[in-house]
């Protein structure tokens, strides 16, 4: 068993829903009051270690995440998959780990998965946090130069390419490029391709009006990949959504943690009345 005083995650590879999946659980620090855990969906090609700072910033809750098939320590998928399949697998992972209701957070590609999970398994979701993401196929695209580099898996295989193109890719301060690149474990080419293909033709727009969870939409003012207007679309379509725009680009959760993390913590702690008052303001 994991030491309750440690924030080192418990990492395991297990067969969940017919797939071998590497997953991680950070236990809340000792003495924390019981709160809903956070289920985190990562960005495309991103391994567990890239979201490790979140566990340091929000240390009073259990945090659960996993590597998508073919990413990090999860073996490559044998066949393509769709978002609903991953949502179903995620529910089975929560069952396996003994978690019932969770707050759900997704960033970029993972924001789409978070939307799918919230719609598909609403009884398992408390609050919803969508960061640097969009409604999928109907999104307003970012800059062509940034999108072309984003689609290129070289950013994960070639550390120098990542560092040289960091600002073009993410629009963030370059002083976080090194630490970000150092945590990367390159995805397999099949895993990356299947992750790209999973969202082809997918959009959350038809079902977002039926998502009833209180939702915080976080967008970076200088995001060159997912412009702020996509956050406004999400806020419009989700009945109980509130949009907050912070400085920084696509990786504002890392580069602007001092601004974005307090917003997340405040949202997770606020009452229904406070949420509605802020939404109406």
DSSP 8-state symbol, 186? P
Q: Which of 27, 74, 108, 260 is catalytic?
A: 108
Q: What is the pLDDT along the chain (281 residues), one digit of tens a residue?
A: 344 445 789 999 999 989 999 999 999 999 999 999 999 999 998 899 988 888 889 999 999 999 999 999 999 999 999 999 999 999 999 999 999 999 999 999 999 999 999 999 999 999 999 999 999 998 988 777 666 666 666 666 666 666 666 665 666 655 555 565 567 677 888 998 999 999 999 999 999 999 999 999 999 999 988 999 999 999 999 999 999 999 988 889 888 889 999 999 999 999 989 888 888 87
Strands, E assignment, 92-198: 102-107, 125-131
Tell me if residue 148 is catalytic: no
- In sequence order, which residues have a C-beta less than 8 Å from that of residue 146 and are 6 or more positions away? 168, 169, 170, 171, 224, 225
| Run of H or E including 229 | helix 228-237
Structural contact between residues 113 and 208, judged by C-beta atoms closer than 8 angstroms: no
132/111 Cα distance (integer angstroms): 7
Instruction: Find the length of the chain.
Output: 281
Question: Which two three-digit tokens encode residue 204?
Answer: 């959350």
Two tokens, residue 236: 């419009």
**CA-wise closest residue to 39 among 92, 109, 90, 96:** 90
Structure tokens at 273: 């009345």
Which pair of structure tokens corresponds to residue 260? Answer: 């974005």
Q: Which CATH class is domain 10-145+188-273?
A: alpha beta
Residues 6+ away with beta carbon under 8 Å from 103: 36, 37, 38, 39, 61, 125, 126, 127, 128, 129, 268
pLDDT in tens, 17-52: 899 999 999 999 999 999 999 999 999 988 999 888
**What are the domain boundaries of the chain?**
10-145+188-273
Identify the three-state secondary structure at position 201: coil
């Amino acid at each position: 068993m994991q030491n309750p005083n440690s924030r080192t995650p418990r990492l395991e590879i297990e067969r969940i829903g017919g797939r071998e999946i590497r997953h991680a659980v950070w236990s809340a620090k000792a003495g924390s009051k019981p709160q809903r855990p956070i289920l985190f969906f990562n960005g495309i090609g991103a391994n567990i270690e890239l979201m490790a700072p979140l566990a340091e910033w929000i240390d009073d809750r259990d945090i659960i995440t996993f590597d998508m098939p073919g990413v990090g320590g999860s073996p490559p998928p044998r066949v393509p998959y769709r978002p609903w399949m991953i949502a179903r697998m995620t529910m089975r992972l929560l069952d396996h780990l003994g978690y019932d209701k969770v707050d759900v957070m997704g960033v970029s590609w993972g924001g789409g998965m978070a939307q799918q999970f919230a719609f598909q398994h609403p009884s398992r979701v408390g609050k919803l946090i969508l960061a640097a993401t969009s409604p999928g196929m109907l999104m307003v695209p970012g800059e062509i130069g940034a999108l072309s580099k984003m689609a290129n898996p070289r950013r994960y295989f070639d550390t120098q390419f990542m560092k040289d193109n960091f600002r073009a890719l993410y629009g963030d301060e370059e002083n976080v490029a090194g630490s970000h690149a150092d945590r990367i474990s390159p995805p397999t080419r099949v895993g990356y391709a299947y992750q790209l293909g999973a969202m082809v033709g997918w959009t959350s727009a038809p079902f977002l009006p039926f998502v009833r969870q209180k939702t915080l939409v976080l967008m970076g003012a200088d995001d060159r990949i997912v412009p702020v207007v996509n956050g406004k679309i999400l806020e419009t379509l989700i009945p109980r959504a509130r949009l907050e725009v912070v400085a920084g680009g696509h990786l504002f959760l890392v580069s602007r943690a001092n601004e974005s993390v307090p917003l997340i913590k405040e949202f997770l702690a606020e009452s229904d009345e406070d949420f509605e008052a802020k939404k109406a303001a």
